[in-house]
A = this chain, B = another copy of it.
Amino acid sequence: MQPETETTKEVSIEKTKEELSNDILLAALKLFTEKGYFNTSLVDIAELSGVKNSAALYKHFKNKQEIARALYTWIIDRLSVSIDDIRRRNRKSSEQLREIVDLWFRLTDDAPDIMRFLLLLNVNEFLPDEIKLMETPPFIKILRILHGGIKAEEIKTVDSQRAYCYFFGVIENTLTQILSGALKKPADFYQNDTWEIAWSTISK
């Protein structure tokens, strides 16, 4: 998963620069989703990430915003790759959507912070110049999938934006309640039922 860099020929307990950068992002992800961007200081991030002190953070990122920005693009890129993969492996939009739902639910169980970041944070509040979540590649691609389903007469609703509201309204609200603890069981427990309901809102 983690590619070996050429510089680390010798075995070393010390972390490489990339590993540390990664740790910083993970720490930031945890803290931002837990307390919010503005309640998280660079000292907090330094402590949790294992970087010696907050000044050392500037060896890895230009400033606090850049940490958030790197996090955002990292998550978006990862999603985008996954969606590409799903589109490649499936032809029908119903199958593609089913796999996206599966991904969303698995992320909620296995990487809840990522889902919290996507569903709970207002990214534009601390990254005002960044494009809105719904305009990023993965979500554009999801809208395309819905559009394709409408053209193929798999999906009934007139426009893809509204199909998104119905379908992902059900999905995302369920996941939000799981993440907040209002629904007690793991996401996986709710997946099939939620898929059925969500799909029924848009299927022809």
Contact = CB atoms under 8 A, between A and B. Distances in A.
Given A120-B122, A125-B39, A201-B170, A134 B183 contact: no
A162 B183 contact: yes
Chain B CB within 10 Å — which of A121, A166, A182 has the most?
A166
Interface of A: 35-36, 38-39, 120-122, 125-126, 132, 134, 161-162, 164-166, 168-174, 177, 180, 182-183, 190, 193-194, 197, 200-201
B197 A183 contact: no
Contacts of A165: 170, 173-174, 177, 183, 194
Listed residue (A125, A168, A174) with the most chain B CB atoms within 10 angstroms of its CB = A125
6 contacts: A39-B125, A164-B173, A169-B171, A169-B173, A197-B201, A200-B201
A169 to B, nearest CB: 3
Contacts of A121: 122
B177 A161 contact: yes
Given A38-B38, A201-B201, 6 more contacts: A36-B126, A161-B177, A162-B183, A169-B172, A169-B174, A200-B200
A174 B121 CA distance: 18
Contacts of A166: 170, 173-174, 194, 197
